[in-house]
Each structure stands twice: as C-alpha cells, then as structure tokens.
Structure 1
C-alpha cells in the first residue's frame, strides 16, 4: 500500500531543508522537501524524527521555512549533507 506524501515510508523521514546550490557561486536560496533515512549517517543511531520542528529565517529579502531536528546521538545533520544523501538515493546510490 503506497504511503501518502505527508507520511514517510517506514525507515525514512521527510524534511524541508535549505538548498544554496552545489557550486562555488551563490545562486540564492531554495527550500527542498526531501526524504532520507531515519538513521544517523555517521553512527547508524536514530535521527531526531521526533524532534522535527519549524525554523523560519530571513535571507535576500525573503522569509523561508525549513525543518530542524536534534539527533539523540549528538551528530549534527548539515543541510548540504542531507541534500547529498537525498541525491544519492534518487540516483540509486544509497541502500
């Protein structure tokens, strides 16, 4: 049975993250909704799925809303790393 877009599949979490591009030149801000593993990529402990909360910030004259969470293991998920994990999953490079 397929899951809805608001309910992540078991073993995953869906979050909104800030994307400032992958190149050296600043291209502005966009917010991406991505689905990644609910396990910490550093230690395989649980990610902070239960601590996801909204964070509003102002940049380039606009307001944006993204998600923040705290991993119980203490490892910090940088948005750029979460985006890279998502892109690897999309490319079929992640388990």
Structure 2
C-alpha cells in the first residue's frame, strides 16, 4: 500500500498572511481613531483660540479704561500738589 499523504490546508504561508493582515487591520483602525481624535482636537483648539481672542479684547478694553482713570487721578493729584506748592510759596513770600 501506498502511504497516505497528509493534505495541509493553508500551511505556514497562509497563517503568516492572515497574521499580517490582522495586524494591518488593527493599525488601520488605530490610525482612523487617531485621525478622528486629531480633528476633534483641532476643533477644540480653534474654540480656545476664539475665546482667548475675546478675552484679549476684553482685557485690552479694561486696561485702556484703567489707564484713563489713572491718568485722570494723576492729573488731579498734580493740580492739587501744584496748588499746595503755590500756597506755600505765597506764604513764604508774605513772611519775607
């Protein structure tokens, strides 16, 4: 009798091809989710940029208002000091 030969379906090459295709599938899924996360991240960055720009404009207005108020107060203070110096000068002249 002749020896029976064992018929192997697939073999090593087929198993290796299957493993490589599964790894490729996993990598493609990871890349897809990373791309989706990147798009969401970019949208979040744009939202933060717009809110930061609004805050910058608001703080610029507040700083300008504070600058004006400080200028007015310093102007009043300067006038008060000048009046006081003028009265002291007049008092000194009156004593002489």
Higher relative contact order (CA 8 A, sep 6+): 1
TM range (shorter): under 0.3
Bigger CA radius of gyration = 2
- Using structure 1 for the length normalisation, give the TM-score: 0.17
Bigger fraction of residues in strand: 1
Bigger fraction of residues in helix: 2
